[in-house]
Amino acid sequence: MSLSKSNYTNLIKTEAKRLGFLSCGISKAGFLEEEAPRLERWLDKNMHGEMSYMEKNFDKRLDPTKLVEGSKSVVSLLLNYYSEEKQDDPGAPKISKYAYGTDYHFVIKDKLRSLLNFIQEKIGDVHGRAFVDSAPVLDKAWAAKSGLGWMGKHTNLISRKVGSYYFIAELIIDLELEYDYPVTDHCGDCTACLDACPTNAIVEPYVVDGSKCISYFTIELKSNIPESFKGMFDNWMFGCDICQDVCPWNRFSKPHKEPLFNPHPDLLSFTKKDWTELTQEVFGKVFKNSAVKRTKYEGLKRNITFLKP
């Protein structure tokens, strides 16, 4: 029995919700015309710092049909990670909320595989690939194109209903569906994120110099953190939530319901002294399945040392 595009679309969105995704939007796979010059300018100004992978696969980054053969639709999905829990010691080095629990790559990949299997079972011979922040896909651009939110002045995706504390992922598939439309920008004349960024990484509204961002320094940068940024990190040792914490739209954030994103108890209870004396063994135990492993033990120790006055 052949179903209509409308039925296929509803089936996919209903299953995405059942799997725990916050929302699902769909757009037609094709070249991202508006993003091309923006990405080119950003790279030309070296705003990617040492993230050399951003220079690669330029064409694929802008056109999913070059990444997934025969692709017709980009199914964008949001998964909430907001947590109201905080580290007990206000003087302890801080970790971004998204890294409290199990590495999101594992959690989301499993959900995406389930969604793709569901599509193949219910609809038939559908082919595609799942992406979670690990391939040349412009996640935020696709999520905005499919109406899941707008790109804020801090370049994170913002939704009026739930703010911006969520992961973005995609299924790129060779099935035509009904497509959603972008929503309007609701940042207005607010400059809270620009005013709050301690390293002035948001160089102008909607442009972030990645090479000045605390998240870049504490996660992506492999060499030493420049001394000129000493005292500017507001005690962040892995990632940074400042531009999201000050965003008025995040007063609508609600705690996630994903048990795997709950923090390791030690992570919240560790004092400043515990972090300073962190051993390789304790690092391995606390961050066994965590995104923090990306910076490795040596990287986290470097970050903690850099925070010392």
The size of the chain, in residues, is 309
| Residues forming the active site | 133
